[in-house]
Every structure is written in C-alpha cells, then in structure tokens.
C-alpha cells in the first residue's frame, strides 16, 4: 500500500515535474481519499498512506508555486472498485456487502471531477476537493437507506 500510494506518487512526480518545469506550466492531480482526512478502525496503513498523499500534495503545492505548475488533490469517499475484493482477499460476496443499501461513487464520477479540475482557467486551482456519494457523511457514517 505504501509502495503504490506514496512511492508511486513520488516516482511519477519525480519523472514529470522536470518536463512541466521546462514548459513553465502543468497540473498534478493527486488522488487521495477521505481516509487521508480522517482515520477509522482497521484502516491504519491505508489511512497513513492517504495522509501522506495529503501532506505531499500540500508540500508540492508550496514547492511548485513559483513554477507555473498547479497541484490539486481529489479525495473520494466510497467508490465501487475492485479495491474491496483486494481488501477481502478475493471474497467477492463480502466485498459486495460494502456497497449494499446505497449508491456509491463510480470511477467515472471521480474522472468527471478530475476533468472539471483540469479545465478551469489558468488562474484557478481547485487545491483540494472531497467527493462523496450522497449517502456518505464521513469515513464511517453512511445512510444505507439511500
């Protein structure tokens, strides 16, 4: 989890930032999570990795302010992906229960938000955006009747 969520972000950033600096512009979109804003039981490593994404995004925004490179962070709540299957070690039935009783976000919902962020005028940066399904109030509070 740390390799993907933290080191992956660092390796990709290290590769693309010099190219953006040469052009004098660019936009980095880091995908965090609601877990990077608040912690929950049994999420210690995942929450820690997403808190690192939050800290890196803020620091990158500061470090790159003079370069013309914008840094944004998108923090989704419950998104129906294969992550639950991975989390429950391939148990599809158990993974499906995570999304029962409400309509979670989809990958397309998150992609639409990212497309919106990158199409803002040059003088606008949506620095941090949290996107949740209507049934979610926090990392652990869900209305499963929606």
Assigned token pair, 93: 């039935």
Q: What angle do CA 54, 68, 33 make, to 5 degrees?
A: 15
Candidate list 7, 46, 89, 92, residue with the active-site label: 46
Q: Is 92 one of the catalytic residues?
A: no
For residue 30, give the nearest of 47, 51, 1 by alpha carbon.
51
DSSP character at residue 136: B
Q: CA distances (Å), 51 to each of 35, 44, 61, 62, in order?
A: 7, 10, 15, 17
Q: Is 50 one of the catalytic residues?
A: yes
d(CA 126, CA 119): 11
d(CA 146, CA 142): 9
Note the residue count of the chain.
Answer: 146
Candidate list 37, 50, 89, 102, residue with the active-site label: 50
Q: Which residues are catalytic?
A: 46, 50
């Amino acid at each position: 989890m740390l390799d993907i969520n933290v080191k992956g972000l660092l390796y990709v950033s290290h590769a693309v930032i010099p190219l953006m600096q040469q052009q004098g512009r660019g936009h980095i979109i880091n995908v965090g999570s609601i877990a990077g804003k608040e912690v929950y039981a049994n999420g210690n490593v995942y929450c820690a990795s997403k808190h690192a994404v939050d800290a890196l995004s803020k620091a990158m925004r500061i470090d790159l302010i003079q370069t013309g490179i914008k840094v944004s962070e998108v923090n989704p709540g419950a998104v129906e992906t294969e992550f639950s299957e991975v989390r429950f070690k391939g148990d599809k039935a158990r993974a499906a229960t995570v999304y029962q009783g409400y309509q979670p976000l989809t990958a397309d919902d998150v992609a639409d938000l990212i497309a919106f962020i990158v199409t803002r005028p040059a003088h606008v940066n949506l620095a941090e955006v949290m996107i949740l399904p209507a049934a979610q109030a926090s990392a652990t509070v869900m209305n499963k009747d929606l």
